[in-house]
Amino acid sequence: MAEVHPLLQEKKVFMSVGVWDALSALLAERAGFDSVFLSGYAVAGATLGLPDFGMMTQTEVLDAARRVIAAVDLPVIVDGDTGHGGVLNVQRMVRELVAMGAAGVILEDQVWPKRCGHMADKQVVSLEEHVAKITAAREAIGDFRLMIVGRTDAIAPLGLDEAIRRGNAYARAGADLVFVEAPETVEDMKRIVAEIDAPLTLNMIDGGKTPRLSLEQVHELGFVSVGYVLTGLFSATAAVSRAFEHLRRHGTSEGLDDSMVGFDDFTSLLGLQECYETDRRFRKKTQEGRG
Protein backbone atom coordinates (compact mmCIF):
# COMPACT_ATOMS: atom_id res chain seq x y z
CA MET A 1 0.00 0.00 0.00
CA ALA A 2 1.22 3.51 -0.80
CA GLU A 3 2.46 5.79 1.96
CA VAL A 4 -0.40 7.54 3.76
CA HIS A 5 -0.53 11.34 3.68
CA PRO A 6 0.54 12.73 7.10
CA LEU A 7 -2.70 14.68 7.55
CA LEU A 8 -4.68 11.49 7.06
CA GLN A 9 -2.33 9.47 9.22
CA GLU A 10 -2.83 11.93 12.06
CA LYS A 11 -6.58 12.17 11.32
CA LYS A 12 -6.45 15.96 11.09
CA VAL A 13 -8.74 15.84 8.07
CA PHE A 14 -10.94 13.08 6.73
CA MET A 15 -10.77 12.00 3.08
CA SER A 16 -13.39 9.95 1.26
CA VAL A 17 -13.35 8.68 -2.31
CA GLY A 18 -16.31 8.22 -4.60
CA VAL A 19 -17.31 4.72 -5.72
CA TRP A 20 -20.08 3.40 -7.92
CA ASP A 21 -20.13 -0.37 -7.44
CA ALA A 22 -18.70 -3.20 -5.34
CA LEU A 23 -15.50 -3.44 -7.40
CA SER A 24 -14.61 0.24 -7.08
CA ALA A 25 -15.34 0.02 -3.34
CA LEU A 26 -13.00 -3.00 -3.00
CA LEU A 27 -10.27 -1.04 -4.78
CA ALA A 28 -10.74 1.89 -2.39
CA GLU A 29 -10.52 -0.48 0.54
CA ARG A 30 -7.35 -2.07 -0.84
CA ALA A 31 -5.83 1.41 -1.30
CA GLY A 32 -6.31 2.01 2.42
CA PHE A 33 -9.11 4.57 2.52
CA ASP A 34 -11.07 4.83 5.76
CA SER A 35 -14.44 5.36 4.07
CA VAL A 36 -16.12 5.56 0.67
CA PHE A 37 -18.87 7.70 -0.77
CA LEU A 38 -21.45 6.12 -3.07
CA SER A 39 -21.84 8.87 -5.67
CA GLY A 40 -25.18 9.31 -7.42
CA TYR A 41 -23.39 10.91 -10.36
CA ALA A 42 -21.11 7.89 -10.67
CA VAL A 43 -23.88 5.31 -10.23
CA ALA A 44 -26.06 7.01 -12.85
CA GLY A 45 -23.19 7.15 -15.31
CA ALA A 46 -21.87 3.63 -14.72
CA THR A 47 -25.15 1.71 -14.39
CA LEU A 48 -27.56 3.70 -16.56
CA GLY A 49 -25.20 5.43 -18.96
CA LEU A 50 -26.99 8.67 -18.13
CA PRO A 51 -25.94 12.01 -16.61
CA ASP A 52 -26.74 12.92 -13.00
CA PHE A 53 -29.95 14.65 -13.98
CA GLY A 54 -32.55 13.26 -11.58
CA MET A 55 -33.16 9.99 -13.43
CA MET A 56 -32.07 7.63 -10.65
CA THR A 57 -34.87 6.22 -8.52
CA GLN A 58 -34.65 5.68 -4.77
CA THR A 59 -34.80 1.92 -5.38
CA GLU A 60 -31.81 2.05 -7.75
CA VAL A 61 -29.78 4.05 -5.23
CA LEU A 62 -30.65 1.66 -2.39
CA ASP A 63 -29.83 -1.39 -4.51
CA ALA A 64 -26.40 0.05 -5.35
CA ALA A 65 -25.83 0.93 -1.68
CA ARG A 66 -26.74 -2.57 -0.53
CA ARG A 67 -24.19 -4.17 -2.87
CA VAL A 68 -21.39 -1.78 -1.92
CA ILE A 69 -22.02 -2.06 1.83
CA ALA A 70 -22.00 -5.86 1.58
CA ALA A 71 -18.72 -5.89 -0.34
CA VAL A 72 -16.48 -3.92 2.04
CA ASP A 73 -15.80 -3.41 5.72
CA LEU A 74 -15.44 0.35 5.26
CA PRO A 75 -18.01 2.95 6.35
CA VAL A 76 -20.15 3.81 3.31
CA ILE A 77 -21.73 7.26 2.97
CA VAL A 78 -24.61 7.22 0.50
CA ASP A 79 -25.69 10.01 -1.83
CA GLY A 80 -29.39 10.28 -0.96
CA ASP A 81 -30.01 13.15 -3.40
CA THR A 82 -33.15 14.94 -2.20
CA GLY A 83 -34.57 11.82 -0.59
CA HIS A 84 -36.57 11.23 -3.79
CA GLY A 85 -39.75 12.86 -2.54
CA GLY A 86 -41.10 14.35 0.66
CA VAL A 87 -40.43 13.65 4.32
CA LEU A 88 -41.98 10.17 4.16
CA ASN A 89 -39.68 9.22 1.27
CA VAL A 90 -36.71 10.55 3.24
CA GLN A 91 -37.68 8.49 6.26
CA ARG A 92 -38.09 5.35 4.19
CA MET A 93 -34.67 5.83 2.63
CA VAL A 94 -33.03 6.46 5.99
CA ARG A 95 -34.60 3.37 7.57
CA GLU A 96 -33.44 1.24 4.64
CA LEU A 97 -29.90 2.62 4.95
CA VAL A 98 -29.84 1.97 8.69
CA ALA A 99 -31.00 -1.61 8.12
CA MET A 100 -28.25 -2.33 5.59
CA GLY A 101 -25.52 -0.76 7.73
CA ALA A 102 -24.72 2.50 5.95
CA ALA A 103 -22.52 4.98 7.80
CA GLY A 104 -24.13 8.16 6.50
CA VAL A 105 -26.41 9.84 4.00
CA ILE A 106 -26.22 13.14 2.14
CA LEU A 107 -29.51 15.00 1.72
CA GLU A 108 -29.60 18.03 -0.56
CA ASP A 109 -32.05 20.91 -0.99
CA GLN A 110 -32.47 20.89 -4.77
CA VAL A 111 -35.83 20.80 -6.51
CA TRP A 112 -36.55 17.35 -7.96
CA PRO A 113 -35.52 16.31 -10.55
CA LYS A 114 -32.15 17.38 -9.25
CA ARG A 115 -28.88 17.54 -11.15
CA CYS A 116 -25.19 17.36 -10.38
CA GLY A 117 -24.14 20.26 -8.19
CA HIS A 118 -21.67 21.48 -10.81
CA MET A 119 -24.23 21.60 -13.64
CA ALA A 120 -26.15 24.69 -14.77
CA ASP A 121 -29.68 25.87 -13.96
CA LYS A 122 -30.08 24.36 -10.50
CA GLN A 123 -33.08 25.25 -8.36
CA VAL A 124 -33.58 24.76 -4.63
CA VAL A 125 -36.61 24.17 -2.42
CA SER A 126 -37.40 26.51 0.46
CA LEU A 127 -35.18 26.41 3.53
CA GLU A 128 -38.17 25.27 5.58
CA GLU A 129 -38.87 22.30 3.31
CA HIS A 130 -35.34 20.97 3.58
CA VAL A 131 -35.19 21.60 7.33
CA ALA A 132 -38.27 19.39 7.58
CA LYS A 133 -36.49 16.63 5.61
CA ILE A 134 -33.43 16.73 7.86
CA THR A 135 -35.61 16.73 10.96
CA ALA A 136 -37.58 13.77 9.57
CA ALA A 137 -34.35 11.92 8.79
CA ARG A 138 -33.07 12.48 12.33
CA GLU A 139 -36.35 11.16 13.73
CA ALA A 140 -36.21 8.06 11.53
CA ILE A 141 -32.66 7.25 12.62
CA GLY A 142 -33.70 7.07 16.27
CA ASP A 143 -31.00 5.49 18.41
CA PHE A 144 -29.07 4.10 15.45
CA ARG A 145 -25.84 5.63 14.20
CA LEU A 146 -26.21 7.21 10.78
CA MET A 147 -24.47 10.47 9.94
CA ILE A 148 -26.61 13.09 8.20
CA VAL A 149 -24.84 15.44 5.81
CA GLY A 150 -27.01 18.48 5.12
CA ARG A 151 -26.19 19.78 1.67
CA THR A 152 -27.22 23.06 0.11
CA ASP A 153 -26.95 23.94 -3.58
CA ALA A 154 -28.09 27.51 -2.98
CA ILE A 155 -24.91 29.31 -4.09
CA ALA A 156 -25.69 29.18 -7.82
CA PRO A 157 -29.40 30.15 -7.75
CA LEU A 158 -29.55 32.34 -4.61
CA GLY A 159 -26.02 33.38 -3.66
CA LEU A 160 -23.50 32.64 -0.93
CA ASP A 161 -25.33 34.54 1.83
CA GLU A 162 -28.37 32.29 1.43
CA ALA A 163 -26.19 29.17 1.26
CA ILE A 164 -24.58 30.13 4.58
CA ARG A 165 -27.99 30.83 6.14
CA ARG A 166 -29.17 27.39 5.03
CA GLY A 167 -26.03 25.66 6.26
CA ASN A 168 -26.61 26.99 9.77
CA ALA A 169 -30.29 26.05 9.64
CA TYR A 170 -29.52 22.49 8.52
CA ALA A 171 -27.03 22.08 11.36
CA ARG A 172 -29.63 23.26 13.88
CA ALA A 173 -32.14 20.80 12.37
CA GLY A 174 -29.84 17.86 13.07
CA ALA A 175 -27.24 17.58 10.31
CA ASP A 176 -23.94 16.23 11.64
CA LEU A 177 -21.98 17.74 8.77
CA VAL A 178 -22.83 20.66 6.50
CA PHE A 179 -21.93 20.59 2.82
CA VAL A 180 -22.16 23.79 0.78
CA GLU A 181 -21.87 22.61 -2.81
CA ALA A 182 -19.81 24.27 -5.53
CA PRO A 183 -18.09 27.31 -3.98
CA GLU A 184 -16.14 28.93 -6.80
CA THR A 185 -13.36 30.77 -4.95
CA VAL A 186 -11.12 30.29 -1.94
CA GLU A 187 -12.63 33.47 -0.49
CA ASP A 188 -16.08 31.86 -0.63
CA MET A 189 -14.71 28.82 1.17
CA LYS A 190 -13.23 31.03 3.90
CA ARG A 191 -16.61 32.67 4.44
CA ILE A 192 -18.33 29.28 4.62
CA VAL A 193 -15.94 28.14 7.34
CA ALA A 194 -16.11 31.43 9.25
CA GLU A 195 -19.89 31.85 9.16
CA ILE A 196 -21.36 28.34 9.48
CA ASP A 197 -21.34 26.99 13.02
CA ALA A 198 -20.93 23.29 12.21
CA PRO A 199 -18.35 20.77 10.98
CA LEU A 200 -17.95 21.27 7.24
CA THR A 201 -17.16 19.02 4.30
CA LEU A 202 -15.99 19.95 0.81
CA ASN A 203 -16.12 18.26 -2.58
CA MET A 204 -13.21 18.23 -4.99
CA ILE A 205 -14.79 17.64 -8.42
CA ASP A 206 -12.18 17.28 -11.16
CA GLY A 207 -13.13 19.81 -13.82
CA GLY A 208 -15.92 21.26 -11.66
CA LYS A 209 -16.63 24.75 -10.37
CA THR A 210 -14.66 24.50 -7.12
CA PRO A 211 -10.90 25.21 -7.27
CA ARG A 212 -8.93 21.99 -6.79
CA LEU A 213 -6.97 22.40 -3.56
CA SER A 214 -4.37 20.26 -1.84
CA LEU A 215 -5.22 18.39 1.33
CA GLU A 216 -3.07 20.88 3.26
CA GLN A 217 -5.09 23.80 1.89
CA VAL A 218 -8.39 22.12 2.71
CA HIS A 219 -7.21 21.50 6.27
CA GLU A 220 -5.86 25.02 6.69
CA LEU A 221 -9.16 26.51 5.55
CA GLY A 222 -10.92 24.61 8.34
CA PHE A 223 -12.89 21.86 6.59
CA VAL A 224 -12.99 18.62 8.56
CA SER A 225 -13.42 16.36 5.53
CA VAL A 226 -13.07 16.35 1.77
CA GLY A 227 -14.47 14.06 -0.90
CA TYR A 228 -12.76 13.20 -4.17
CA VAL A 229 -15.98 11.75 -5.47
CA LEU A 230 -15.40 11.44 -9.22
CA THR A 231 -11.63 10.97 -9.56
CA GLY A 232 -11.94 7.19 -9.65
CA LEU A 233 -14.78 7.18 -12.17
CA PHE A 234 -13.03 9.61 -14.52
CA SER A 235 -9.76 7.68 -14.25
CA ALA A 236 -11.47 4.34 -14.91
CA THR A 237 -13.30 5.78 -17.92
CA ALA A 238 -10.03 7.00 -19.43
CA ALA A 239 -8.28 3.67 -18.79
CA VAL A 240 -11.04 1.53 -20.31
CA SER A 241 -11.31 3.89 -23.27
CA ARG A 242 -7.58 3.58 -23.97
CA ALA A 243 -7.73 -0.22 -23.73
CA PHE A 244 -10.67 -0.50 -26.12
CA GLU A 245 -9.07 1.89 -28.60
CA HIS A 246 -5.87 -0.19 -28.48
CA LEU A 247 -7.82 -3.42 -29.14
CA ARG A 248 -9.71 -1.85 -32.01
CA ARG A 249 -6.55 -0.46 -33.61
CA HIS A 250 -4.16 -3.38 -33.10
CA GLY A 251 -6.44 -6.42 -32.94
CA THR A 252 -4.67 -7.74 -29.84
CA SER A 253 -4.23 -6.95 -26.17
CA GLU A 254 -0.45 -7.28 -26.56
CA GLY A 255 1.09 -4.07 -25.33
CA LEU A 256 -1.51 -3.49 -22.61
CA ASP A 257 -0.01 -5.72 -19.94
CA ASP A 258 1.61 -2.87 -18.03
CA SER A 259 -1.73 -1.05 -17.75
CA MET A 260 -3.80 -4.08 -16.67
CA VAL A 261 -4.04 -6.21 -13.56
CA GLY A 262 -3.43 -9.90 -14.12
CA PHE A 263 -6.06 -12.64 -13.98
CA ASP A 264 -4.75 -13.93 -10.64
CA ASP A 265 -4.52 -10.45 -9.11
CA PHE A 266 -8.10 -9.68 -10.09
CA THR A 267 -9.56 -12.93 -8.77
CA SER A 268 -7.54 -12.50 -5.58
CA LEU A 269 -9.12 -9.07 -5.07
CA LEU A 270 -12.53 -10.70 -5.37
CA GLY A 271 -11.72 -13.41 -2.83
CA LEU A 272 -11.36 -16.41 -5.12
CA GLN A 273 -9.07 -18.30 -2.74
CA GLU A 274 -11.68 -18.09 0.02
CA CYS A 275 -14.30 -19.39 -2.43
CA TYR A 276 -12.04 -22.35 -3.29
CA GLU A 277 -11.52 -23.16 0.38
CA THR A 278 -15.21 -22.98 1.26
CA ASP A 279 -16.20 -25.04 -1.76
CA ARG A 280 -13.62 -27.74 -0.96
CA ARG A 281 -14.62 -27.86 2.70
CA PHE A 282 -18.27 -28.46 1.93
CA ARG A 283 -17.53 -30.89 -0.88
CA LYS A 284 -15.42 -32.88 1.58
CA LYS A 285 -18.29 -32.93 4.09
CA THR A 286 -20.69 -34.06 1.39
CA GLN A 287 -18.35 -36.89 0.33
CA GLU A 288 -17.85 -37.94 3.97
CA GLY A 289 -21.60 -37.99 4.48
CA ARG A 290 -22.07 -40.28 1.51
CA GLY A 291 -19.35 -42.57 2.79
44 and 167 fall within a common domain = yes
> Looking at the structure, do residues 177 and 288 belong to the same domain, yes or no?
no
User: Which residues are CB-contacts of 27 (< 8 A; sequence separation ≥ 6)?
Assistant: 19, 232, 269
- Answer yes or no: do 85 and 200 share one domain: yes
pLDDT for 2 equals 57
Centre a 10 Å sphere on the Cβ of residue 200 and count the other Cβ atoms it contains.
21
Residues 268 and 221 in one domain: no
Same domain, 287 and 163: no
In a domain, 91, yes or no: yes
**Backbone φ, ψ for residue 226 (5° rounding):** -145, 140
Question: What contacts 49, CB < 8 A, 6 or more positions away?
Answer: none
- Please tell me whether residues 145 and 284 are part of one structural domain: no
pLDDT of 213 reads 95
Q: What is the three-class DSSP state of 151? A: strand
Asked whether residue 120 is domain-assigned, the answer is: yes
Q: Could you tell me the CATH number of the domain that includes residue 199? A: 3.20.20.60
Let me know whether 192 and 269 are in one domain: no
> Could you tell me if residue 192 is inside a domain?
yes
Give the amino acid at 271: G
The one-digit pLDDT tens for each residue of the chain (291 residues) are: 457 788 777 778 899 999 999 999 999 999 999 999 999 999 999 999 999 999 999 999 999 999 999 999 999 999 999 999 999 999 999 999 999 999 999 999 999 999 999 999 999 999 999 999 999 999 999 999 899 999 999 999 999 999 999 999 999 999 999 999 999 999 999 999 999 999 999 999 999 999 999 999 999 999 999 999 999 999 999 999 999 999 999 999 999 999 999 999 999 999 999 999 999 999 887 877 776
Q: At what angle do helices 58-71 and 22-31 cross, to 10 degrees?
A: 40
Determine, yes or no, domain membership for 133: yes
Pair 142, 286 in one domain: no
Q: Is 68 contained in some domain?
A: yes
**Domain presence at residue 288:** yes
Residues 274, 204, single domain; the answer is: no
How confident is the model at residue 10, as a pLDDT?
75
Q: Which domain holds residue 278?
A: 261-291
- Does the N-terminal peptide bond of residue 113 adopt cis geometry, omega within 30 degrees of 0? yes
Query: Is 115 in the same domain as 33?
Result: yes
Per-residue pLDDT, 6: 84
Domain end among 212, 229, 246: 229
Does a structural domain hold residue 251?
Answer: no
Point out the domain boundary residue: 229, 253, 283.
229
User: Does 92 lie in the same domain as 26?
Assistant: yes
Instruction: Select from 229, 249, 275 the last residue of a domain.
Output: 229
**What DSSP string runs through 60-76?**
HHHHHHHHHHHH-SS-E
pLDDT score recorded for residue 140: 97
User: Do 117 and 170 belong together in one domain?
Assistant: yes
Element housing 165 (H / E) = helix 160-173
Nearest to 178 by CA among 121, 235, 225: 225
In a domain, 154, yes or no: yes
Number of domains in the chain: 2
User: Which among 186, 192, 187, 137 is positioned nearest to 163, based on CA atoms?
Assistant: 192
pLDDT of residue 5: 81
Q: Which of 214, 203, 215 is nearest to 39 (CA)?
A: 203
Question: Could you report how far apart the first and last alpha carbons of the chain are, in Å?
Answer: 47
